[in-house]
Structure 1
Amino acid sequence: MGARESLEMEVDERDEFLGTGGTGVMSFSTPANEAPHSIPVSYGYDASEETFYFRLAVSPESRKQRIVNSVISFVIYGMDGDGWKSVIASGKLEETNDEAIATETLQGLQRVTIPLVDFFGKPPGEIHFEFYRLVPDELTGRKESKTPV
């Protein structure tokens, strides 16, 4: 049996893997002596603009509220018939209510599907959501591939 090696995905393969939305893990940067704050989230992806959109639950005591506008990394991964694939996006999470990006965001949200996934244990109508976007500074996709020994 051959060894496994990880290879970079081509842009079209990466965009196909991401689709118009799904789920992944968002990690927020924290002070050096703390572990990153990581949470599962659903996303929408606009391949034409290489932009991710998020519907995040927020509350006054939410840790996310204190670390929004910091640098994040966002990881999406899964397995298909060809093996494991993953995409990592990193950059600054932006609030979409800023007038400078509101129009772009509305256009982008029309091209994506953000799944409503229940990570909360209470009805979504009882949770306050806000929209954010990530225009990645870095966007990489890797796939697993068989190689000869």
Structure 2
Amino acid sequence: MAGKQATPMDALDIASFLDDHGTGVLALAKDSDAYAIPVSYTFDEDDEAIYFRMGFAPGSQKQKYLDDTDHLSFVVYADTDDGWKSVVVEGTAETLGTDSLDAAIVEAMQGLDIPYYQVHERPATDVQFRIVRVQPTRMSGIVEGESQRKRTPAGNVEDGSR
């Protein structure tokens, strides 16, 4: 049985999807090397920008890639009852000082669900936190066609194609 074709999201669907979620994968590049990391974010519909609060330890690889990336990609995706949905944001990044943020952005950043744990064998005091804004140059979203997956009573997903 043939399913429906995947359909693109319009600008309102993209904004709603970004607003409803809080994590994604940020892809950076330095020369011919790629670097991707999971991040928490907040989306501001007023300026159509995405904000990250990122921690950088001394000698951070993440900082080096962020500094050397001219054009980045950010992907947010979710498995929904309607099938997979995803939004790809392409754009440029800028590190901001907290004094340049308006109150609504600061409040949204404080509400991010960011787990606090020690990632490296360094004291947490060595980590500097900065706000990074992605100004999108392109945003696209898609909803997959009719899914062959079924949910079990426990809520797990079974792939009907096997």
Indicate the residue corresponding to 1:9 in structure 2.
Answer: 9
Indicate the residue corresponding to 1:144 in structure 2.
Answer: 144
Q: Give me the whole-angstrom Cα distance separating, in 2, the residues matched to 1:24 and 1:82.
A: 19
Question: What are the within-5 Å matches in structure 2 for residues 100-119 of structure 1?
Answer: 102-103=100-101, 106-111=103-108, 113-118=111-116
Aligned length: 140
Q: Is the 8 A contact 2:98 2:131 kept in 1?
A: no
Q: Which runs of 5+ in 2 are unaligned?
A: 148-162
Larger RCO of the pair (alpha carbons < 8 Å, separation 6+): 1
Q: Secondary structure of the residue that 2:15 maps to in structure 1?
A: helix
Q: Deviations over 1:72-93 (max 9, x none)?
A: 1100000111111001111111
Indicate the residue corresponding to 1:62 in structure 2.
Answer: 60
RMSD (Å), alpha carbons: 2.6
Indicate the residue corresponding to 2:45 in structure 1.
Answer: 47
Indicate the residue corresponding to 2:156 in structure 1.
Answer: none
Q: Is the 8 A contact 1:54 1:114 kept in 2?
A: no
Shift of the 132–114 alpha-carbon distance from structure 1 to 2, 3 Å rule, reads same
Q: Give me the whole-angstrom Cα distance separating, in 1, the residues matched to 2:74 and 2:2.
A: 30
- State the TM-score, normalized to the length of structure 1: 0.79
Kindly provide the amino acid, as one letter, of the partner of residue 141 in structure 1.
G
Indicate the residue corresponding to 1:77 in structure 2.
Answer: 77
Kindly provide the amino acid, as one letter, of the partner of residue 82 in structure 1.
D
Q: Give me the whole-angstrom Cα distance separating, in 2, the residues matched to 1:30 and 1:136.
A: 19
| More divergent stretch after superposition (62-71 vs 137-146) | 62-71
Indicate the residue corresponding to 1:38 in structure 2.
Answer: 36
Q: Give me the whole-angstrom Cα distance separating, in 2, the residues matched to 1:26 and 1:119.
A: 20
Q: Which has the larger radius of gyration?
A: 2
Q: Give me the whole-angstrom Cα distance separating, in 2, the residues matched to 1:20 and 1:144.
A: 18
- State the TM-score, normalized to the length of structure 2: 0.74
How far is the alpha carbon of 1:4 from its aligned partner? 4.8
Q: Which runs of 5+ in 1 are unaligned?
A: none
Q: Deviations over 1:101-139 (max 9, x none)?
A: x145x54333564221357548xx924321111011111
Kindly provide the amino acid, as one letter, of the partner of residue 13 in structure 1.
D
Q: Give the share of equivalent positions with the same residue, in percent.
A: 28
